[in-house]
Amino acid sequence: MSEISLDEWELTLQVKKKELEACQVTQGVKSCLSCPKLNHCEIRDAYVHAVYNSMSKGAGGGFEF
């Protein structure tokens, strides 16, 4: 069995995903798109940044949110 090693960006992504899912449960929604706080949500913004960083491995680039 091979062991999967997660880098710092993937670990951060897992944490942010759990925070987002917990928020969705608290708000009683299945998707952020159904949430009235969508446009001003720091939790969702942090998750989106974590997704981008996990894909780019922190290399940055021209991607703007």
Provide the pLDDT for residue 59: 67
Provide the pLDDT for residue 56: 79
Residue 65 pLDDT exceeds 60: no
- The domain segmentation of the chain, as residue ranges, is 8-56
Where helices occur in the chain by DSSP H, the ranges are: 8-27, 42-56
d(CA 49, CA 51): 5
- Predicted TM-score (pTM) of the model is 0.77
d(CA 21, CA 51): 14
4-29 pLDDT tens trace:
666 888 899 999 999 999 999 999 99
